[in-house]
């Protein structure tokens, strides 16, 4: 029997290709190369001849959106991307990855090594509303998602999608972090301006009292303004 890409991953690949038909596929991958075959890898066919990993080229797709869709699927196990690894068993918390391949050109997606995970042909959500039910239609997943959204939690705290990241909260936290950093920078610049103004006034007062020559004042002012320009660069 010849090897085959797990049907669940084939569905994911089809959704990605449909969503981004002009994406780059140069770094796509399924079955392992000789280097993979010399060590345990989900790219190698298992006893069922199923290849349970797929590499997706990073160019021409929304990598973050695909990762979020991957994490929601019951077949998902772990992903590796841009020197980070996240596993379903640890709540999809990204951790540093120091393997030989930093995975900066493609994202590695691995599913669980079970026949059920391999044969699960349910959609991954890239071609449908992300809020569609994936829990049998009873609304439990939506309730927990809304609860996480209202509470400001970064991940869903319970239900069938427990551990799923709340994308909007992540974006809000990221934006708030950038705004805080910008505010701190503005405050620092304002404080520096106030200190420089005080130094300039002191130079003028020293000149008025005959303590500094005009040439010394001009030279010192030039030094202060030059330093201010470097700090603001």
Nearest CA-CA partner of 90 in 107, 78, 104? 78
Higher pLDDT pick, 42 / 174: 42
Instruction: Tell me the two tokens of residue 153.
Output: 């939690």
Q: Which are the contacts of 211, defined by CB distance < 8 A and separation ≥ 6?
A: none
Cα 86 to Cα 33: distance, rounded to the nearest angstrom: 23
- At residue 29, the 3 state secondary structure works out as strand
Q: Which of 8-12, 32-36, 100-104 has the lowest mean pLDDT?
A: 32-36
Q: Is 105 left (phi over 0), alpha (psi -120 to 50) or beta?
A: alpha
Cα 118 to Cα 175: distance, rounded to the nearest angstrom: 38
Mean pLDDT calculated for residue range 78-95: 96
Q: Is the pLDDT of residue 13 over 90?
A: yes
Instruction: Tell me the two tokens of residue 40.
Output: 């345990």
Q: Are 123 and 11 in contact (CB under 8 A)?
A: yes
* pLDDT, tens digit, 9 for 90 and up, residues 91-150: 999 999 998 899 999 999 999 999 999 999 999 999 864 444 444 444 666 777 677 766
Q: Which of 25-39, 126-140, 157-171, 193-207 has the lowest mean pLDDT?
A: 126-140
HSE-up of 232 (CA within 13 Å, CB side)? 14
Q: Is the pLDDT of residue 162 over 80?
A: no
What confidence score (pLDDT) does residue 130 get? 43
């Amino acid at each position: 029997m010849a090897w085959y890409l797990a049907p669940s991953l084939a569905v994911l690949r089809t959704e990605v290709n449909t969503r981004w038909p002009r994406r780059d596929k140069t770094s796509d991958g399924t079955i392992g190369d000789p280097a993979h075959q010399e060590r345990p890898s989900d790219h190698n066919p298992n006893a069922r001849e199923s290849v349970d990993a797929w590499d997706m080229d990073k160019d021409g797709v929304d990598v973050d959106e695909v990762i979020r869709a991957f994490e929601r699927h019951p077949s998902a196990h772990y992903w590796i991307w841009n020197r980070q690894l996240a596993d379903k068993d640890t709540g999809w918390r990204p951790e540093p990855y120091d393997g030989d391949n930093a995975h900066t050109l493609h994202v590695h997606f691995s599913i669980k090594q079970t026949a059920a995970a391999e044969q699960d042909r349910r959609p991954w959500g890239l071609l449908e509303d992300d809020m569609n039910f994936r829990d049998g239609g009873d609304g439990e997943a939506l309730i927990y998602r809304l609860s996480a959204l209202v509470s400001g939690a970064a991940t869903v705290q319970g239900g069938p999608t427990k551990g799923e990241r709340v994308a909007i909260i992540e974006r809000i936290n990221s934006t708030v972090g950038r705004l805080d950093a910008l505010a701190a920078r503005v405050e620092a610049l304002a404080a520096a301006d106030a200190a420089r103004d005080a130094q300039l006034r002191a130079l003028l007062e020293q000149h008025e009292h005959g303590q500094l020559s005009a040439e010394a004042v001009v030279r010192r002012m030039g030094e202060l303004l030059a330093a201010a320009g470097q700090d603001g660069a």
